[in-house]
Amino acid sequence: MQPGKTFQTIGILSRPRREQLSVVVPTLLKWLQERGIKPILDEETAAVLPTRSKGQPRSAVADASQILLVLGGDGTMLAAARLAAPRGIPILPINMGSLGFLTSFTLDELYPALEETIAGHSSISQRVMLQAELVRGGSVIESQRALNDVVIHKGALARMIQLELAINSDFVCRYRADGLIVSSPTGSTAYSLSAGGPIVHPAVEAFIITPICPHMLTDRPLVVRDYCQLEIKMNGDAESVYLTLDGQRGVPLQPTDILRVQRAKEQLQLIQPPKKPYFEILRSKLKWGEA
């Protein structure tokens, strides 16, 4: 972030426990106003104030803000990322959830982090976003961004699904599995990790392709350059098969659907603790080295 850059508006997005939020937000608003910064609240945040102020839809908050302050867990952060990246505004994430890989500042670090951000001394990590297009009948019916992952997975039925993967039009593999995950490096510590995928540093320009419970044990996770275009076709019955983006938006699939995934044009600007390197965050969250 540029030293000396001044900020006049900060958007606040949240979805933590309401009782916790009602304690944090009034003091935060006073702190910002004393420094001449206008806070813009989403509807969830405004609802917990004693005045019952009316907040704004999240998209309107993002439109009017120079920074987004996220109070919550990784789910809140993922929703905010899809708003912030195309608008080119940074996110300051404060962990009020549980694990919090993405929300790497603690609540105790809220005001020091704000001071550093306002002074223009914050460290920003540029995070690759995924662009997913769902093609049906030759037309794009869905086009969405995701920070962590794009997943095709089965629903309630127990049988496996069949998928065909091509990279830059070159055929790669036919999978029989419970599903397939296409992850960014940021998302490598999310669903992909639980499915046996590798941890990839956020600076690596790569996609991680991880099958979910594959029928063939030789179908292993695959890491490719993120300048590739991935194309995944349904190969067989698509009953109870879904496309999910960042675990938050689900779309039912049909047998002839085609999913295309590539690197989004915009990157997410994620403010990070300057004295908390990525590997320190990994050690803390994954409890590496603990008995």
178 in active site: no
DSSP collapsed to 3 states, the chain: CCCCCCCCEEEEEECCCHHHHHHHHHHHHHHHHHCCCEEEEEHHHHCCCCCCCCCECHHHHHHHCCEEEEEECHHHHHHHHHHHHHHCCCEEEEECCCCCCCCCECHHHHHHHHHHHHCCCCEEEEEEEEEEEEEECCEEEEEEEECCEEEEEECCCCCCEEEEEEECCEEEEEEEECEEEEECCHHHHCHHHHCCCCCCCCCCCEEEEEEECCCCCCCCCEEEECCCCEEEEECCCCCCEEEEECCCEEEECCCCCEEEEEEEEEEEEEEECCCCCHHHHHHHHHCCCCC
Higher pLDDT, 164 or 284: 164
The pLDDT tens digits of the residues spanning 219-274 come to 999 999 999 999 999 887 767 899 999 998 889 999 899 999 999 999 999 998 87
Q: What is the pTM of this model?
A: 0.91
Question: What pLDDT score does 286 carry?
Answer: 83
Query: What mean pLDDT is reported for the chain?
Result: 90
The pLDDT value given to residue 291: 58
Closest to 121 (Cα-Cα) out of 235, 15, 273: 273
Q: What is the pLDDT of residue 234?
A: 87
Decide if pLDDT at 97 tops 80. no
C-alpha distance across the termini of the chain, in Å:
39
Read off φ and ψ for residue 7, nearest 5 degrees. -120, 130
Query: Looking at per-residue confidence, does 279 or 182 come out higher?
Result: 182
pLDDT value at position 3? 46
Higher-pLDDT residue of 98, 169: 169
pLDDT higher for 28 or 22? 28
Instruction: Calculate what percentage of the chain has a pLDDT beyond 90.
Output: 67
The Cα 291–Cα 289 span in angstroms is 7
pLDDT-based confidence at 275, cuts 50/70/90?
Answer: confident
Which of the given ranges, 152-166, 199-213, 272-286, has the highest pLDDT on average? Answer: 199-213
Could you give the CA distance from residue 94 to residue 134 in angstroms, rounded to a whole number? 33
Q: Would you say 103 and 73 are in contact if contact means Cβ atoms under 8 Å apart?
A: yes
Q: Which is catalytic among the residues 74, 226, 246, 257?
A: 74
Start and end residues for every CATH 2.60.200.30 domain found in the chain:
129-265
Q: Which two tokens stand for residue 159?
A: 């049988």
Task: Determine phi and psi for 17, rounding to 5 degrees.
Answer: -65, 135
Does 156 have pLDDT greater than 90? no
What is the percent of the chain where pLDDT is above 70? 93
**Whole-number CA gyration radius for the chain:** 20
Mean pLDDT of 79-91: 96
Q: Any bridge partners for residue 92, and if so which? A: 69
Q: How confident is the model at residue 190 (pLDDT cuts 50, 70, 90)?
A: very high
Does position 154 have pLDDT exceeding 90, yes or no? no
Number of neighbouring beta carbons within 10 Å of residue 228: 17
Q: Tell which CATH classification among 3.30.565.10, 3.40.50.10330, 3.40.50.2300, 3.40.1180.10 matches the domain 9-122+274-286.
A: 3.40.50.10330
Superfamily per CATH, domain 129-265: Probable inorganic polyphosphate/atp-NAD kinase; domain 2 (2.60.200.30)
Q: Is the pLDDT of residue 289 over 70?
A: yes
Query: What band does 4 get if pLDDT is binned at 50, 70 and 90?
Result: very low
The yes-or-no verdict on residue 166 having pLDDT over 80 is yes
117 vs 13: CA distance, rounded Å? 17
Answer whether 233's CB lies under 8 Å from 258's CB. yes
